[in-house]
Structure 1
Amino acid sequence: MTDEEARGTSGGAAGTSGPTGGLSARALTALLLAAIFCFGLVRIAANVYSYIADREGAGLATSPTIAWMLEGSSLIAWAVMMIPCWFAVRRIRPPRVALPWTVAIHALLAIPVSLGHIALMAGFRTALWRLMGLTYHFTAPDGSPILYELRKDISAYTELVFILFLVQWLVARYAIPPAATPGPATLAVGDGAVTHHLPVGEIEHVAAAGNYVEIAWRGQTLLHRATLTAIESELAAAGFVRIHRSRLVRRDAVRRVVTLKSGDFDVEMESGAVLRGSRRYRGNVEG
């Protein structure tokens, strides 16, 4: 459906250097998450020595090994729980979700995340204690270990959500984009006995129409027998993104995005056409 030879691209505006020294999104993400983990190590070191000092001040026997195992198991459990937290922050954040709803949803998510952290932490400790020939007892100073940990974890989850949001924002803003894959130079569109070879850069938007797609080109609409998914796959490298389950737009043809109260949005194209987008795809044109 596309010509064999495609125009090359000159690369992104960011080039190969910048504020991050040319780090890719994956490398920058790994670096920032590693920094977070190192910060966690510093915090648990402070907690360990505070724990030891408090127990010694109370005249209680203290094992530095046990203290490190207690704090370390909690840190490792949070490192595991960071995975679902990462995806939660990625999907549930402004402007994708309105701020009041973002706060409410994350307030609810704090409970299952905390329970997951508690389960992992207790499991790690049980395994470590068994390796030492000991028995681990899940207790708390107030006699309610679940509630005790929940109170601490809600604060930790709030802090983690903010940090992960900041990491994702930094990566989106400062990581260099991946090398662009040349898109197709033209799209072959059959019209009866005639096949049009449309320059991809002149196609403004594409809409699903049953077993066909409607292609907006130079102020006219051409009907082409193909699925929207197939066209999306073919034109993705040329900068076409989905704004609705039934519509694609060429991103560099977007002139304005207006967000509605419902969370959906309107896209104004360079031709003046205004297209409705679904809120689940808003990040495709706002990122």
Structure 2
Amino acid sequence: MNSQPTTPAPSTDQLWQRYQPWRRMAEWGFWIVSYLVGAATNSVTALMDIRRAGLDFAAWEPAVWEWSSHLVALALVPAVLWYTRRFPLHFDTWRRNLPWLAVGSVGWSLLHIAGMVALRKAVYVTQGYHYDGGPWERTFLYEYLKDVRQFAGLVVLIEGYRLLIRRLQGEASLLAPADDAPLPDQPERPERFLVRKLGKEFLIAAAEVEWLQAAGNYVNLHVRGRDYPLRTTMAAIESQLDPARFVRVHRSYIVNLDCVGEIEPLDTGDARIAMRDGMQIPCSRTYRDALRPERRAA
């Protein structure tokens, strides 16, 4: 009997590389499909409940209620993504950020209610009706009791997905000093970063980092086409990097000068940096002087 050669299963790195070109489409596709399917199915079940209860509503009204709610919630997804980057819900930050997330749920609910009420009023006018949501205080309390659960679900879903992404792409940290090592008077310059990925650990030389980008409470280390999130701030990591090699060019970017291809001045006084791998990085006028050799030598 002839045995056919088996094709090895793709590695995690291969799956990650395949997913990267489709990542943005997959993420937004998930939100769009989820809310559109939710609006359609909820419209049908709401109409069935109204008919079962014998209530006097036109067939189009529950569809307007559900679609207005889901479309406004979909439009608010970018705001929730931004807010959760500003106040992430992690094991070491949840006590500090949970009150801010509670405040965010109120703001999200207010925007959600205002948007869906405005849409409903507009549609009702086209049908020759008047939409009355009732007293504002009672409407807000009723809707907020539903919205706070939806907002909490969004936060948990977003943070869970981000945790999965960090595990797949790897997460960097500074190498911890030995227990018996004396504490330095000034921050030491790391020669290597420790990267954890799917239960394995790797060492990345600091000189291999091509650029760094601020991302909320993280700084992404870009190395050979991959981003490794490091839990720190730009100011903290900048003070630890070799200033002869790494230069701050923007409030959100630090570049490795060995990886810079060319610098293109812009009419605004800013500049555009072309890295050797083709990446375009902004350089603000505030930091342009740092790229001059005489300033770095000083």
The TM tier, using the shorter chain, reads 0.5 to 0.7
User: What's the CA shift for 1:121?
Assistant: 0.7
Q: How does 1:147-186 map to 2 (within 5 A)?
A: 147-172=141-166, 174=168
Q: Which amino acid aligns with 2:125?
A: R
Task: Calculate the aligned-residue CA RMSD, in Å.
Answer: 4.6
Of all paired residues, the percent bearing the same amino acid is 19
Q: Which runs of 5+ in 1 are unaligned?
A: 1-13, 177-215, 219-235, 272-279, 282-287
Contact (CA 8 Å) 2:105, 2:148: kept in 1 or not?
yes
Q: Which amino acid aligns with 1:24?
A: Q
Contact (CA 8 Å) 2:46, 2:62: kept in 1 or not?
yes
User: What's the CA shift for 1:97?
Assistant: 6.6
Contact (CA 8 Å) 1:258, 1:265: kept in 2 or not?
no
Q: Which amino acid aligns with 2:15?
A: P
Query: In structure 1, what is the Cα distance between the partners aligned to 2:29 and 2:80?
Result: 16
* Consecutive aligned runs of 4 or more in structure 1 exceeding 6 Å deviation: 257-260, 264-271
User: What's the CA shift for 1:82?
Assistant: 1.1
Counterpart residue number, 2:14: 18
Query: In structure 2, what is the Cα distance between the partners aligned to 1:109 and 1:96?
Result: 19
Q: How does 1:104-143 map to 2 (within 5 A)?
A: 104-139=99-134
Larger RCO: 1 or 2 (CA < 8 Å, sep 6+): 1
Figure out how many residues of one structure are paired with residues of the other and give that number: 190
**TM-score for the superposition, normalised by structure 2:** 0.50
Deviations 1:134-167 (A, max 9, x none): 2211138x99211111111000100111222234
Change (3 A) 1:89 1:96: farther
User: What's the CA shift for 1:268?
Assistant: 12
Counterpart residue number, 2:75: 80
User: What's the CA shift for 1:168?
Assistant: 3.4
Q: Which runs of 5+ in 2 are unaligned?
A: 1-9, 171-188, 192-206, 224-228, 243-250, 253-298
Query: In structure 2, what is the Cα distance between the partners aligned to 1:149 and 1:267?
Result: 46
User: What's the CA shift for 1:125?
Assistant: 1.1
Query: In structure 2, what is the Cα distance between the partners aligned to 1:31 and 1:259?
Result: 26
The answer to whether structure 1 residue 29 and structure 2 residue 24 are counterparts is yes
Q: How does 1:50-65 map to 2 (within 5 A)?
A: 50-65=45-60
Q: Which amino acid aligns with 1:165?
A: E
Contact (CA 8 Å) 1:55, 1:62: kept in 2 or not?
yes
Change (3 A) 1:138 1:172: same
Q: Which amino acid aligns with 1:93?
A: P
Change (3 A) 1:251 1:160: closer
Counterpart residue number, 2:210: 239
